[in-house]
Each structure stands twice: as structure tokens, then as C-alpha cells.
Amino acid sequence: MHDAWIAERMSRIDASGIRKAFELARKLKDPINLSIGLPDFQPPEAALKAAAHAIASGANAYTVTQGIPELVGPLQARVDAEYGHPDRQVLITAGSSGALTLALACVVNPGEEVVLFDPGFTMYRHLTTLAGGACVMVDTYPDFRPTAARVEAVLSPRTKCVIVNSPGNPTGQVATATELEDLADLCRRRGILLISDEVYRSFCHDGPFVSPARFNEDVLVVDGFSKSHGMTGWRLGFAHGPRRLIQEMAKLQQFTFICAPSIAQHGGAAALDHDLRPQADAYRRKRDMVVEALTGQYDLPRPEGAFYAFPRAPWGTGAEFTAKAIEHNLLVIPGGVFSARDSHFRISFAVADETLARGLALLRELAQR
């Protein structure tokens, strides 16, 4: 194998720090694992039965790229009812990451800039690199607010799009309606595409979910079933946005992912009417456990959504504190995985109450060093 075979762009794409935590968890004996953003509940029974029936009945071939009518139709109806945009179209994708990959590949020319919030989900940076774009990071410390003023300060003639994630990973922040309206208005005025990653929209702990697509018809929304329905391995996502962009994404999907997994699509169609409130209530309660346990010992902006908390390390860097936690069999993710800074760490509270309680007790002990 010759190093010369490897494209230069790959030197700027690091192995996922989150995946490294997966590997580390396998090596530790009975770890207290608060590292992975993996829902701790199974898919709805209706989805399991529909997927099994799809297999047994022979629905194992490619589907049309847009997605099966049983899934596209109801989703399109919901999007139409929520936004009322005559030009907004739905595309079923191979996970929300598939939607993001298609979107950035279809939008970003080499050298154009993609504005990202720091801290933020690491995939955005690497997919921008893959598309040939340049990442422009917006520092949101210490409050993690994705404000239009912060974005406007970094815009340039090369800015092509902005990615916002609310509820957010890794911070659990939820942008206010005013923040999203201001951001949507800024992008509209400047002719910039706003991409809204809404995969955690089912988990807003302190108020209703708001999408920036309410305020700007040209916002591209990325969503999926992974977090809301416990279907991470099914690779079932979707996007909706301006028809012209969705058509280009569908064209590219024909030559990349082909279609979302057919069996998963049938399962997703059966799960559309599943009541998500019990899990949302459970994660709200777990969020309260985290806040109650760590307040006073950690600088912790109150998580408002998703199932993450992003406290400042009480001593040392985020990496140093995480290393000490691992010595005590506790897995958390250093903040440097998500940020240019190495001052914080991420907790996932998508775990059983007993596991969470053990981890929080240990975090309280570690803060006393």
C-alpha cells in the first residue's frame, strides 16, 4: 500500500473521537459509559413488525431514490401542514448523515466557506472538508448561543451556508425562536443557505421545538429516526427543503447511497404515529438528575434539549480530566472532539438511571481532586 494513493483531503479528516470511545468501552470491564449518544430504548414494536414483514414479503430490493410512497407521502403531508411552503419537498436518505453528505456535496464548491458553531457536532467539519469547502468556526463560549450577530461577524463573499443544530450536540442547547428567526433572516438577506439539523427535535425539555424553516422558506432541514425512535442502526433519515436543492440531492443519491435501506423505510412508515412523549419525559427527568448532581461543583450551562450535558472540567484540560475519569472506569468524551477548545467534556445521559446515578456520583468525587 502506497501513501501516495491516499487523497490529501484525508489528512484533514480525523478518526472520530466518539468511535474511539466505542473501542475503549469494549476493552474496559463493566465501564460506566456516559460517552455515546445512543438512545437506551428499542424501536417501536410497530417498526419491528413492519420491518420483519417487509423482509418476509420480499420487499428487499432497491426502492425509488425519493423513498417509498408509504413513508414519503405522510412525511410530505406533515411538512406541508407545519410550514405551508409550496416549494418544500421531502427526500428519504440513508440517515441524517446521508442527508448532510448529499446537501454539502450539492451546495459547496471548492474553497467556499461553511459557517459552523463551536462547539458542535464533529461530522459537520469533516463533511465540509470532503466537499472541498473551508470551515469557518463561530465561537459560542461560554453560553453556547447560536446568535445571528456571532455569525454575521464571520461572513465573507465566500460564505455558502451555515449549519445550525438545535437541540444541539454536544451542549444540549436549544436556540430560542428569536435567535432562529434572526439567523434565518440574516441568511435570507445575504443569500446564504441555512441548514438546520433537527435530529433531536423530539427532545426539547423546557418548551416547544422551533425550526428556522418557520421564518425562511429556503432553509434545508435534516432529520431522521435514529434518535427519536431508537433506530440508529437502521440508517433512516430524511431532508426537506426547496425543491430545486432536493432534486439535486436525489440525483446525487442515485449514484451514491442509491436509496435508504428498504426494510428500514417500511419500519419507519409504521413508526410515524408512535407516541414519543414517554421517552421525551424520561430524558427530561434524566437531565434534571444531571443538573441536580453537578450544580455547585461544575460550571454547567443547563441542557435544554437532546440528551447531552457539556460541563467545564473542574480542573485540568478536558482531555486530562477525561483521562482521569477513564482510570476510574467512567467513559465521557473530551470537549476537544467537538471544539477548538479543550476545556469541557460531554456527558450522554441516554442511559439507565442506575448507570447515570453511578456516573454522576463518580463525577462529584472527581471534582474534589
Q: What is the pLDDT of residues 160-191, one digit of tens each?
A: 999 999 999 999 999 999 999 999 999 999 99
* 193 and 126 inside one domain: yes
* Residue 19: pLDDT over 70: no
Residues 108 and 204 in one domain: yes
- Do 234 and 305 reside in the same domain of the chain? no
- Asked whether residue 153 is domain-assigned, the answer is yes
| Residue 51 in domain | no
Query: Could you report the per-residue pLDDT of 38-66, keeping only the tens digit for each?
Result: 899 999 999 999 999 999 999 999 999 99
**The domain that contains 97 carries what CATH number?**
3.40.640.10
Phi and psi at 238, nearest 5°, equal: -160, 160
**Average pLDDT value for residue range 223-249:** 97
pLDDT of residue 108: 97
Residues 240, 357 within the same domain: no
Q: Which of 225, 247, 271 is the last residue of a domain?
A: 271
| Predicted local confidence at residue 164, as pLDDT | 98
Task: Tell me if 36 is assigned to some domain.
Answer: yes
Segment 82-97, tens digit of pLDDT: 999 999 999 999 999 9
Residues 157, 266: one domain? yes
pLDDT tier at 25, thresholds 50, 70, 90: low
Residue 146 has which C-alpha cell?
A: 447560536
249 lies in the same domain as 317: no
* pLDDT for 308 beyond 60: yes
**Domain assignment of residue 127, given as a range:** 59-271
Give yes or no for a cis peptide into 69 (omega within 30° of 0): no
Answer whether residue 30 shows pLDDT above 70.
Answer: yes
Mean local confidence (pLDDT), 20-45: 81
User: Residue 35: pLDDT band by 50, 70, 90 thresholds?
Assistant: very high
In the chain, the amino acid numbered 288 is D
CA dist., res. 175 & res. 42, Å (int): 28
pLDDT of 256 > 60? The answer is: yes
Instruction: Look at residue 244 and tell me if it is in a domain.
Output: yes
Pair 50, 266: CB distance under 8 Å: yes
Residues 108 and 236 placed together within one structural domain of the fold: yes
Claim to verify: residue 19 and residue 144 sit in the same structural domain: no
**One-letter amino acid for residue 239 of the chain:** A
22: pLDDT strictly greater than 60? no
Per-residue pLDDT of 100-152, as tens digits, reads: 999 999 999 999 999 999 999 999 999 999 999 999 999 999 999 999 999 99
Same domain, 180 and 167: yes
Last residue of a domain, one of 241, 271, 301: 271
| pLDDT of 285 above 70 | yes
* Confidence grade of residue 16 (pLDDT, cut at 50, 70, 90): low
50 in any annotated domain? no
Are 186 and 329 in a shared domain? no
- Strand 159-165 with 193-197, pairing: parallel
State the Cα–Cα distance between residues 28 and 62, nearest whole angstrom: 40
pTM for the model: 0.94
User: C-alpha dihedral over 145, 282, 80, 226, to 10 degrees?
Assistant: 90
Is residue 49 in a domain? no
- Position 346 in a domain: yes
In a domain, 52, yes or no: no
For residue 14, name the pLDDT band (cuts at 50, 70, 90). Answer: confident
Examine the domain organization and report whether 198 and 345 are in the same domain.
Answer: no
Q: Of 218, 252, 271, which residue constitutes the final position of a domain?
A: 271
CA distance 352 to 179: 33
Rounded (5°) CA angle 280-284-288:
170
We report the CATH number of the domain holding residue 311 as 3.90.1150.10
pLDDT at 11: 81
On whether the CB atoms of residues 236 and 227 are closer than 8 A, the answer is no
Same-domain status, 18 and 158:
no
Q: How many folded domains does the chain comprise?
A: 2
Would you say residue 36 has pLDDT above 90?
A: no
Q: What is the percent of the chain where pLDDT is above 70? A: 96
CB 67 within 8 A of CB 98: no
Please give the share of the chain, as a percent, with pLDDT higher than 90: 90
Mean pLDDT of the chain: 94
